[in-house]
Every structure is written in structure tokens, then in C-alpha cells.
Amino acid sequence: MLKIISSIKIESSNLKYCLYAFRFYTVTFKKDMESKPEVPNITNNEQTITEGRATITTLGNVFYNPVQEFNRDLSISVINVFSKERSNSPKLEFGIKNENGIRILEALSATGLRSIRYAKEICGIKEIVANDISKIAVAAMRNNIKDNRVDELVTASENDAVMLMYEHRLKEKQFDVIDLDPYGCPSRFLDAAVQAVSDGGLLLVTATDMAVLAGNSPETCYSKYGAISLRTKCCYEMALRILLQCIESHANRYGRYIEPVLSLSADFYIRVFVKIYSGAHKCKFSTSKLSMVYQCNGCETFTLSPLGTVKTSDNKQVKFKLPTGPPLNSQCEHCQHSHLLGGPIWSAPIHDPNFVQKVITETPEHLNTARRIQGVLNVVYEELIDCPLYFVLERLSGILHVTTPPMMEFRSAILNAGYQVSFSHSRKTSIKTDAPAKVIWDILRCWEQRHPLSDRRRSEQGAGNNILAVKSEKEYSFDSHPNANPPSRRDGFVRFQENPLPYWGPGTRSTTMVGDVKMEKSKRNQGKRKRESAE
């Protein structure tokens, strides 16, 4: 390099600048070579894992979360039911290729465990594509597929998940089932996913960014999901409904719409199972399935305002109309506080009871979490499907500063008043009911008459005392109602999530992705501002 430069005739005034440039590029090249990460030694960090009927070996830092076994077991149960509905074959077998069976894409496969389990534990499968963008993950996947002898059913794919789904938009290439289980927010995959699912196909979506969905960052929730989240005690169900409206909005752009068959809040994530259909006319009903949510700043009472209404005339002609509004006054009718506005959320049913009943009946007994699946789905089956969101009993009592009524007595009071009530699977002390909020507060006013507030509490200013200042319109009975104790509770099912296990939480993002260099850069930049300010 020096000989080349010296052989070139350069004016003396520019020579020093050329030498400076040469020195700069050589130093930069040296640093780049020194900072280039070495190829990880994937043989030093091996782990053998057995789950269900699959045994795999993880290599390097390929992502695996043992807490998600419930997620994988439930997915197997749901897809089994779907496969039996979808297939034309009278008899379906496990682990054997069925030419009339379903095609499945696991877009973010990592170890390949889920796809291998699908191949071994789901009947009526034609093909499974296990995809990941990481070379290390795909290498491990291929070995695991071979070791589990499912080569005929499972194909490993090294591709960007979004591009792969876009390549399967044509009808003859679409998948019957697409499983999206990303780390964090799934919204960047949805546009491609809703196009790559066949008509009537099943889309499975997981979201683990619960802080965003639960109202900690409403502006971030809007940028990711197209909806404003609220900090409310029914945030888990609201998170499900925000995700469902996000999937619906992506599907509507292509003349498609969704029908949720099962929606779950479990552990640290939410998981929805929806069928995707095509039909431009049906998409017109979407506005009537979405609502804005008004939540009182004081008593936290919520009111839903639909984005659209559907009217059917005497001659059965359907008309789509805009709702009149606003649906409530500027001040809450119960406590005179102002309102917050959130949404839009999916306000139509989030489960299909008939489908849920099939999953309960046909859940394989060999699954490690079969007992929990049976318990949770029995609660889901009992949920009131036309009553979006729920109250939380201890929060209602806390607003009024009264002692919390026993759950069975409170449920009995609602039933004795002629209304329906159920639990929500997402909260142990939830009150899901078709009773108006006024009735709920009247019942608590009657409870306060039996368990009066102290003089000190009576003298305080706040939403609770504003509610108690109004007399209940009638007396409500807390006598035991025969339907107050639901079958799932009476029969001793494992209805709600168990205590946290080791490795609790969504885990850490896999470091085997293409962004390994980015991860190294992130480590180098930690504390950079403090170091610069100290200098």
C-alpha cells in the first residue's frame, strides 16, 4: 500500500492529507477485524429436553422456555380439534403423512420442539414447515427432526418469517394453520399472516408484551396495536380484545375477517386462536364488533361505545349505521368524576363455546398440563360470551372502603336480582355480568348498610362516598342462590394459573439471530453516556 502511494505523483501540499487518510482507514479496518464476533461454539452448550412425545437437543443460545409447555400443550389440543373438523378423511392417524390433511407453518420455530410435537401428537397432517431466521437454530432443528424421525412431515426452513408468509399468499400455497409465537409484540407479522392462511384456516398468535397491553404505555400500545390501552383491573381481558381488533384490522384490508374460537390470558402472555375467512360483505360487520371504552377516573366503571350498528328491517335487509353519541355525560353518573377513553377493542365474543367444549372433550391425557387445560377451559366455557370486560370484587369494595363480600354471596345477590354472572378465566375474583353498573353499586350500597363504614371513612371525600351518598333503589338479597357456585369451582378443577415455576417470565431474546453483532454493540454502549459525561 505504501509503495503504491509513493509511486503516485502527488503535490506536496496534498501528500500529508493522503497519509492521514491512509492511517485512518488502516486503524478503522484493524478495529473492525478485532470487534468482529467469532462464530459461537454451539457444541459446548448442549441441553437435552423431553417434552410430550418429542426429545430435542438445544445448541448454543437457541431459545427455549419450559414455562411455555402449557402453551404448546394447549395448541396441540386446539389444532387436533381443528384438524378433525378440516380433514375429509374418516380416520386420522398420528405421525403419518395424510395427503388430505392440514398444512402447518410455525413461523418462529427456534429449536423445532413445537413442530416436532405437532408432527407426533396431532392427527391428519400433510406437511409442517418449521421456520427460523437463525442458521444455528435451523441447524439444531434439522438434527432434532432427524433424531425424532419426523422427516416425512416436518421441513426445516431458514427464512425471514414475514417474507416466507408473503410468498404463500396465493390460494394454492396458503397454510391451513399458522402459529406465531414471537418474543414480545406480534403485530409486525400479522399483515403477512392474515394473507397466508387459507379460507377457514386457523391463526394462532401469542403476545408477551403485557406491560404495553395492560396500560403502562398507551401511546406505545397505539403504535403497535392501533388501540389505546387503559390501566384497569380487567386489563387481561382488555389485552385480548386489543390483540383481536388488531388482527381484525389487518384482515379487513384484504377482504377478510376473523372468528375467535379461543382467547386466553395465561401466566405472562396472552394467546388467541382465530379462524380467518374471506368475504368483503362480512367485513362490513366489523364496526359493530369493535368499541371504544370509557372508564371513570374515580369509580373505574366502564362503558362501551360501538363504532357501528347493524339494523335488520322487516324484509330482512341489513343496514349499517353510525351510532349516536356520546354514550354518557362528561361526568360519571355514579361518582361525578371525569372519564378516560381507550380502544378500540374487540367487543364481540372472544370464544366459541362449541369449539371449546370439543377441546375439553378431546384433550390428550398424556399432556403434562392436561389437568390445567381442563380446568381453565371449563372456566372459559362458563364465561358469559356477550359481556365484554369484568369487575374485580376487591377493587369494588376498595373504592367504597367497605369490607369485601364473600364471592358466593355477591354472585347470589346478582343472580337473585335476575341477572347473569360468571367468572373470567383471567382473574380469580372477577365479576363478569350483564347487570348494569348501577345495579352493582346498589348491591354494594345494601352491603354497606349491613357492614357500615366508620365515621372517619364517612367524612372522607372521594368517589366511594359520592356513590354511597345515593340511596339504593331497592333491597337486594344475599341469600344463597343455587347457581352461584359454578360447576368448575364445585368440581374442584384447577381453574386459575398455578404458582410461578422456575424460569418464570418470557425469558430473554435469543442471541442466535442475525443481530448478534447488534447485541455486541449494545453491550459496548451500556453506560456510554455516563462515561462520556465523566470525561
What is the chain's length? 535
Q: What is the pLDDT of residue 504?
A: 52
Q: Which range (346-360, 390-404, 519-533) has the least confidence? A: 519-533
Q: Which three cell numbers stand for residue 101?
A: 390433511
Residue 213 has pLDDT above 60, yes or no: yes
Cα–Cα distance, 507 to 99 (Å, whole number): 38
CB 294 within 8 A of CB 339: yes
Q: How many CA atoms lie within 13 A of 39 on its CB side?
A: 5
Q: Which three cell numbers stand for residue 407?
A: 364471592
User: For residue 33, which amino acid is it?
Assistant: M
CB 453 within 8 A of CB 401: yes
At residue 259, what are phi and psi to the nearest 5 degrees? -135, 105
Rg (CA), the chain: 28
Per-residue pLDDT band for 231 (boundaries 50, 70, 90) equals very high
Regarding predicted confidence, which is higher, 140 or 477?
477
Q: What is the pLDDT of residue 461?
A: 87
Mean pLDDT, range 486-496, rounded to an integer: 88
CB 71 within 8 A of CB 523: no
CB 431 within 8 A of CB 408: no
Mean pLDDT (the chain) is 87
Q: What angle, rounded to 10 degrees, do the helices at 218-225 and 235-252 form?
A: 30
Degrees, nearest 5: CA angle 89-92-93: 150
Indicate the helix (H) or strand (E) that contains 176. strand 175-180
89-137 per-position pLDDT tens digit: 767 888 899 999 999 999 999 889 999 999 999 999 999 999 999 998 9
Residue 181 has pLDDT above 80, yes or no: yes
User: What are the residue boundaries of the structural domains of the chain, listed by start?
Assistant: 1-36, 47-285+346-377, 389-490
Per-residue pLDDT band for 3 (boundaries 50, 70, 90) equals very low
Q: What is the pLDDT of residue 18?
A: 45
Q: Which three cell numbers stand for residue 116?
A: 416436532
Mean pLDDT, range 157-162, rounded to an integer: 97
Topology annotation, domain 47-285+346-377: Rossmann fold (3.40.50)
Q: What is the pLDDT of residue 11?
A: 44
Q: What is the pLDDT of residue 532?
A: 65
Q: Specify the residue for cell string 347473569.
A: 420
DSSP string, 489-513: HHTT---SPPSPPTT-SS----S-S
Q: Where are the beta strands (DSSP E) in 297-442?
A: 302-306, 309-312, 318-321, 339-346, 391-392, 421-424, 427-433
Mean pLDDT, range 399-414, rounded to an integer: 97
Task: Tell me, rounded to whole angstroms, the distance of Cα 259 from its chain centroid.
Answer: 15
Task: Tell me, rounded to whole angstroms, the distance of Cα 328 from its chain centroid.
Answer: 30
Per the rule left: phi > 0, alpha: psi between -120 and 50, beta: everything else, 255 is left
CB 495 within 8 A of CB 488: yes
Sheet holding 256-266, edge to edge: 154-158, 125-132, 97-106, 175-180, 197-207, 269-278, 256-266
CB 344 within 8 A of CB 307: yes
- Report DSSP state, residue 322: P
Cα–Cα distance, 192 to 169 (Å, whole number): 8
Cα–Cα distance, 66 to 106 (Å, whole number): 18
Cα–Cα distance, 238 to 347 (Å, whole number): 9
Strand 47-51 with 309-312, pairing: unpaired
Cα–Cα distance, 391 to 507 (Å, whole number): 31
Q: What is the pLDDT of residue 66?
A: 79
Residue 336 has pLDDT above 80, yes or no: yes
Share of the chain above pLDDT 70, in %: 83
Multiple choice CATH, 389-490, 3.30.56.70, 1.50.10.150, 3.40.225.10, 3.30.565.10: 3.30.56.70
Residue 330 has pLDDT above 60, yes or no: yes
Residue 46 has pLDDT above 70, yes or no: yes
Any bridge partners for residue 345, and if so which? Answer: 291
Mean pLDDT, range 40-49, rounded to an integer: 62
Q: What angle, rounded to 10 degrees, do the helices at 393-400 and 437-450 form?
A: 60
Q: Which range (284-293, 321-330, 471-480, 522-531) has the least confidence? A: 522-531
Regarding predicted confidence, which is higher, 488 or 494?
488
267-323 per-position pLDDT tens digit: 889 999 999 999 999 999 999 999 999 999 999 999 999 999 999 888 889 999 999
CB atoms within 10 A of CB 357: 15
Q: Which range (23-37, 148-162, 406-420) has the least confidence? A: 23-37
Distances (CA, A) of 478 to 310, 400, 412, 450: 38, 18, 6, 11
